[in-house]
Structure formats: C-alpha cells, structure tokens
Chains A and B, each alone.
Chain A
Amino acid sequence: MSGLPGEGLARRPLHFIWICDCSGSMGIDGKIQSLNNAIREAIPHMQEVAKENPNANVLVRVVKFSSGAQWHIASPLEIENFRWEDLSSDGVTDMGKALRMVAEQLKVPPMEDRALPPVLVMISDGQPTDDFKGGLREVMAQPWGTKAVRIAIAIGEDADLEVLQNFIGNSEIAPLQANNPDALIRYIKWVSTAVLKSASQPASQPATGAPAAHVPIPAIPDVGPASADDVW
C-alpha cells in the first residue's frame, strides 16, 4: 500500500458570506453601484490572501435582501473561481429574513465541525423592515453563529447603527461607517483581506466563555474625518 494513511485529505473550509442590502434606497446616489465596484475590486485581493494561506479553503457566497431575501450566489464558490454578479436595488429591507437564511447554512451539516470560523459581512444603508431580532436570534442559536466573525458596514448616515452593532455582538468592534465610495472601497478591502487573513490562520485558544472576538480582528483602516466628499 502506498500513499498517506487515511482518506479524504482536505483543507479546512472558511465560509465567507456577504449579506447585502438591496433595498430601494441603495439605488440613490450610486450606493449599489459603489458596492458592486468595491466587492469586484476586492476579489483579486481575497484571492491573494487565499494563496498566502493555502490551508484555508475560502468559500464565498452572497445573500441579498430587500422585499424578502434570496441567495445571490447560493453555492459556496472557491475564491479562485469567484466572479461578482452585480446587485440591483428595489424594495424594502428584510434583513431578518436574510439572517434566517444564513442561520440555516450555519447548521452542522452543511457546516463541518472542522471548519474555520466563518466570516459574515453585513452591509446596509437603512433600518430593517422585518423581524431583525428574530433573524439574529436564529443565527446566534447556531454554534457557528456565535463563533463567526461578524462585521458590519453602514452605508450612509441613515443606517441603523444599533442594529448593526447588535449583529456584530462585540462592543470592541463598531460598525464601519462608509459615507462615500472611497471609504466603502477601503472597508470592503479590509474585511476581504486583513479579516480574511486572520480568520484563515487556525490558532487554538482556551474556551474562556468571554464574549470577545474569537478571531483577532486587525486594526480598522482610518478613512479620515467627515468631509465634503461624504455624499451618503
């Protein structure tokens, strides 16, 4: 008999899920197009991070929410094969529904026990119009929900920061406030690279029960003070 003992040698999955607000207000002042551009631009950088951390199998999905919620990209795609399809905007803000759909995917199965902590990135410009708390409860009822890295990006001044902070669930990390396209690009790039890199490295630690971030969160980029360029 030749070869390695055992069967099914595999890298550890790292699920990265974009949760994107596609409500009608995202169509105002070019917000949805800026979001599309920012994520598209971030993909090569994500691929670079994945290459530098080859033992993490980065798998990307996208869920969009407006009136209801749907998987924009439903099957986890390896980052090497990930291509962005533009989102469009219309409808209200059913964030709770989106979270319920994410919660379903955090169950074991389909998640694996051996996976790396998933990264969930919520991007929104407004207030939820459905049962956000119920949706968040369902996410947090899953063990992988509590262990996930949860980041939130607020687009514009009308975003509900309290809701986004609740989603993050860690007082040491605040929602990232993007009031112009450049800031959005920088935050999207940060979460796609620095946060992804941190999540890709399998560092064990004692279970202390503390609510602090399970994965160390790197320093957040400074996008500068409010200025005349803040169009949102």
Chain B
Amino acid sequence: MSRVWKNLYSRLTHSLRPSRVLESEQPVSTLPTVGTLQADEMNLGSSTPLPSEWHVLQATEAGAAHDRHGLPNQDAITCSWGPNESLPIILAVADGHGGSKYFRSDQGSKLAVATAAEVIDGFMHALKEDNNAAFDETTLKMHAPKGIIKRWVEQVRAHLQLHPIESEELNRLDPKERDEFLRCGTTYSSLIPAGDTEAQALTDEQKSELQIAEAKLIQAYGATLLVVAVTERYLLYWQLGDGDILNVASDGSVSRAMPEDDRLFANETTSLCTGNAWKDFRMVLQSLPEEAEKQPALIMLSTDGYANSYSSAQGFEKVGSDLLRMMRENDGLASVENGLSGWLKETSAGGSGDDITAGIILRLSALKELPAEEATEPVVEELGAEPETDSVAAGVQASIAGDTKTPAIESEVSPNAKKQ
C-alpha cells in the first residue's frame, strides 16, 4: 500500500506551477442515471453504467448572523463520483473559521472540499490500479490526511500569489493584528519566488522570513473538513474539526461513526491551518454489509451551525431520522431536495445564526424499506440463524483478503479523540 500511496503522492504533489483553484459545486438536484457494477474488491467504477444505488443531496446557506453583519457564507460543500456517475462517491464539507483573523476562510473552505475530493479520489484510483492494494492504517490515518493538508496548502499558496492581501480585507481586525497581516502580506509579495532559479537565490534569512509570513497568511484561510467516501464495500470517514456525521439506519435509528474530540469546545476547533494538522484528523473505516437493508439508509455530513441550532444532541439527531421519513413519503425525495436549502436558512435564523451546510448520501433502496413497526408481514426468525449485528454502528472488518500482513483496521481515531 505504501508503494501505491507513494505513486499517488508523487503525482499529486509534483507540479511546481500554481494549481487550478477549484470551486465548490452547486447543489445537486438531479437523480443519477448511471451507476457501477464491478467484480473487483473495490468496485470503484464500471464501463457498464447501471442506475446508481445512491443519491446525493447538498445544500449550503449563509447564517442569519452572517447576513446581518455582511459576512459571506464561509462553508463549502462538494461531491464527486467516479466515471459515468459510478462509485466511489466522495462527499466533502468544510467550515471556514468565523473569527476576524480568518478573513479568507470562505476561500479556504472552498479549497478544502475541492482538495479533499481530489486527493481521496486519486487515492481510490491508485488502489484500483494495484490489485494487491489494501487499506492499511498508515495510509488511511496518516498519508491521506497528510496528502489533503499538503495539497490544500499548495492551493492556498497559489491563491495568495494570485490575490495578494489588501487592506480592505482587514477592517474587522484590531490595529495590531491588522498591521501584522499587512506586514506579512508585503513580505510575502516581495519575497515569493516566481520559479526555481529565484527560489535558490533566496538567503536563509529570506527563506525564514518568507516561511513565517506565509504561515501567518495561511491562517486567514483556516477551515474544518469532513469527508465521507462510499465504495461498493466500504464507508470511509475523515474529520478535522467540528461538524457532525450522522448515520441513519433503515429503521430510523441514528448513530455516529465518528467518536468525539474533547478539544472541540466553546467555538474552538482543530483546523487545516494549524501546524501538524494531519495529526488532528479522525478517521473511521466501516465495511458495508452485503444485504442492502443493513447498510445505512442515509449518511449526513453537516457543519456545526446545524447541531448548534438544537437544544439537545438528540433533537439534532432527529434531523436524520426525520429526513429519512420525509423522503419515504410520496414525492418525498423531490420535496426534501426542494425544501432543504430553505430549511437550513430557517434553522439558522431560529437557532445558531451560523452558516449551515448539509450533504446527504442516500441509499435509494432504503426509500422502499419500512421501519419494523410499519411492516405488514410478520418477521419470522429462522431457528439456528446467527444473531444479527448492528451493521451501521459496527467497527471495521479486517483488511481486504490477499494481504495477510496488513493489520486489521479498527474503528480508530487520532490519539486526542475520545472513543465512544
């Protein structure tokens, strides 16, 4: 796996030229018309398109407080699919920090979701190309986060070079911070080399000055990040900072794949812009049961403005089960797609006031499944049948067969997070 990752890493980080700045996608409103069917272990893509089992809804709305104070929506969301609307689905949500020092966090969050989708998509395809590939802990918990951070910083650098800091952006800062950012902006603009030749001509002192100035300026783009990837057999989750990931089972019960992080409290969060940010990622890998009805009915990623709008965690988690119930009604899916943006806006107004973004991955077959209490046929237990497991909340199975040396992947988190 490390060989696969090295190849991917190299391809993604090789270019010296400023990268294309990627914008987040607009909300999805159409059903996918093609899907995937493949016998390989990842089942990542197919040249034979079939209707997809999955559907994605996205919505993002500026917070009521942001509207009042003339601030932009600092959240972002994007979703990518494999070729011909096949798997993997990669859904990413980011929340730019609201403090005055993070005056480009709206751009930072856009770059975060685009970067995450690009890196994770590249990772998936590198796996597909290598028949001996397997998920290993190091790749999932270290290389993937490192790759995302590295690529995000590259994108931020590119944006900074194209868009030097302007004094008008600094109006919300106190005089001391404003002067500091202006000074760093000037230093950065004057020292950033155009190419290798100029880079080599910098003195050690200039390199140090440039590094310090850049680190300060990158802060202005700070954001959190949540990513979910769906393959034929796995669900992969990465999270840096606040926000929520809800798993809703077919019976409407709600669970969370991601354990808590004790450091996220009182508007403080871990972030893409802090040093060694890759260590702050939490990562969970879940296997998808073969029986569809045991797979999650829907997975929702949301920024913290959503959960902060409810007086209890249970009240917020009911969003997940309510959405599933609403989608199961006649024309329910279309109603939810049409209503989601407005609901987020209304929730912000009556709740936290913060930007709210929600991305929902829906298993379409779940719309036809009824919760047990609504089933019309009696459930008959087979004598001697093995007990069912809670597949939605289950930890991870061992890695893909074929690589006996690869350690089993636990449903695991970074050292600082609390296990459930």
Which residues of A pack against B, CB within 8 Å? 1, 4-12, 52-56, 112-117, 143-144, 147, 201-208, 214, 216
Whether A5 contacts B99 in the complex (CB less than 8 A), given A207-B270, A214-B266, comes out as: no
Q: Mark B239-267, 1 if CB is under 8 A from A, else 0.
A: 00010000000000000000000011111
Question: In the complex, are the beta carbons of A55 and B353 less than 8 A apart?
Answer: yes
Chain B residues touching A, range? 35 or more
In the complex, what residues of B have CB within 8 A of residue A55's CB? Answer: 64-65, 348-349, 351-354
Distance in angstroms from A5 CB to nearest chain B CB is 4
Whole-angstrom distance between the alpha carbons of A143 and B264 in the complex?
Answer: 11
Question: In the complex, are the beta carbons of A203 and B352 less than 8 A apart?
Answer: no
Whole-angstrom distance between the alpha carbons of A7 and B314 in the complex?
Answer: 8
Question: In the complex, are the beta carbons of A206 and B274 less than 8 A apart?
Answer: yes
Question: In the complex, are the beta carbons of A144 and B65 less than 8 A apart?
Answer: no
Whole-angstrom distance between the alpha carbons of A147 and B315 in the complex?
Answer: 25
Whole-angstrom distance between the alpha carbons of A144 and B267 in the complex?
Answer: 11
Partner of A1, one of B99, B265, B322, B352: B322
In the complex, what residues of B have CB within 8 A of residue A216's CB? Answer: 99-100, 174
Question: In the complex, are the beta carbons of A9 and B350 less than 8 A apart?
Answer: yes
Could you list 26 A-B pairs, sorted by A, with CB under 8 Å? A1-B326, A6-B310, A8-B311, A9-B315, A9-B347, A9-B350, A9-B351, A10-B310, A10-B350, A10-B351, A11-B352, A52-B68, A55-B64, A55-B349, A112-B311, A114-B311, A147-B265, A202-B354, A204-B97, A205-B99, A205-B267, A206-B219, A206-B269, A206-B271, A207-B263, A208-B274
Question: In the complex, are the beta carbons of A206 and B263 less than 8 A apart?
Answer: no
Question: In the complex, are the beta carbons of A5 and B318 less than 8 A apart?
Answer: yes
**CB of B147 within 8 Å of the partner chain:** no
Question: In the complex, are the beta carbons of A206 and B97 less than 8 A apart?
Answer: yes
Pick the 6 closest A-B CB pairs, nearest first: A55-B353, A8-B315, A5-B322, A203-B98, A206-B271, A147-B266
Whole-angstrom distance between the alpha carbons of A1 and B331 in the complex?
Answer: 12
Which residues of B pack against A, CB within 8 Å? 64-65, 68-69, 95, 97-102, 174, 219, 222, 224, 242, 263-271, 273-274, 304, 307-312, 314-316, 318-319, 322-323, 325-326, 329, 343, 346-354
In the complex, what residues of B have CB within 8 A of residue A7's CB? Answer: 310, 314-315, 318
Question: In the complex, are the beta carbons of B310 and A53 less than 8 A apart?
Answer: no
Distance in angstroms from B177 CB to nearest chain A CB is 9
Whole-angstrom distance between the alpha carbons of A1 and B327 in the complex?
Answer: 10
Whole-angstrom distance between the alpha carbons of A149 and B339 in the complex?
Answer: 39
In the complex, what residues of B have CB within 8 A of residue A9's CB? Answer: 309-311, 315, 347, 350-351
Whole-angstrom distance between the alpha carbons of A201 and B267 in the complex?
Answer: 10
Question: In the complex, are the beta carbons of A203 and B311 less than 8 A apart?
Answer: no
Distance in angstroms from B226 CB to nearest chain A CB is 14
Whole-angstrom distance between the alpha carbons of A55 and B67 in the complex?
Answer: 12
Distance in angstroms from B414 CB to nearest chain A CB is 14
Distance in angstroms from B397 CB to nearest chain A CB is 32
Question: In the complex, are the beta carbons of B318 and A6 less than 8 A apart?
Answer: yes
Question: In the complex, are the beta carbons of B99 and A203 less than 8 A apart?
Answer: yes
Distance in angstroms from B215 CB to nearest chain A CB is 13
Question: In the complex, are the beta carbons of B319 and A5 less than 8 A apart?
Answer: yes
Whole-angstrom distance between the alpha carbons of A190 and B309 in the complex?
Answer: 28
Question: 10 other contacts beyond A10-B310, A206-B274, A207-B268, with CB at 8 A cut-off?
Answer: A52-B68, A53-B65, A147-B265, A201-B69, A202-B267, A202-B308, A203-B98, A205-B269, A206-B219, A208-B274
Question: In the complex, are the beta carbons of A205 and B101 less than 8 A apart?
Answer: yes
Distance in angstroms from A210 CB to nearest chain B CB is 11
Question: In the complex, are the beta carbons of A12 and B322 less than 8 A apart?
Answer: no
Query: A8: nearest residue on chain B (CB-CB)?
Result: B315
Whether A204 contacts B318 in the complex (CB less than 8 A), given A9-B347, A11-B351, comes out as: no
Distance in angstroms from A108 CB to nearest chain B CB is 9
Query: B268: nearest residue on chain A (CB-CB)?
Result: A207
Query: A147: nearest residue on chain B (CB-CB)?
Result: B266
In the complex, what residues of B have CB within 8 A of residue A202's CB? Answer: 65, 98, 267, 308, 352-354
Whether A6 contacts B319 in the complex (CB less than 8 A), given A144-B266, A205-B268, A216-B100, comes out as: yes
Question: In the complex, are the beta carbons of B329 and A1 less than 8 A apart?
Answer: yes
Whole-angstrom distance between the alpha carbons of A89 and B99 in the complex?
Answer: 41
Question: In the complex, are the beta carbons of B269 and A204 less than 8 A apart?
Answer: yes
In the complex, what residues of A have CB within 8 A of residue B271's CB? Answer: 206-207
Whole-angstrom distance between the alpha carbons of A201 and B100 in the complex?
Answer: 11
In the complex, what residues of A have CB within 8 A of residue B100's CB? Answer: 203, 216
In the complex, what residues of A have CB within 8 A of residue B316's CB? Answer: 6
Query: B326: nearest residue on chain A (CB-CB)?
Result: A1
In the complex, what residues of A have CB within 8 A of residue B308's CB? Answer: 12, 114, 202
In the complex, what residues of A have CB within 8 A of residue B351's CB? Answer: 9-12, 55
Distance in angstroms from B405 CB to nearest chain A CB is 37
Query: B266: nearest residue on chain A (CB-CB)?
Result: A147
Whole-angstrom distance between the alpha carbons of A116 and B265 in the complex?
Answer: 10
In the complex, what residues of A have CB within 8 A of residue B315's CB? Answer: 6-9
In the complex, what residues of B have CB within 8 A of residue A5's CB? Answer: 318-319, 322-323, 326, 343
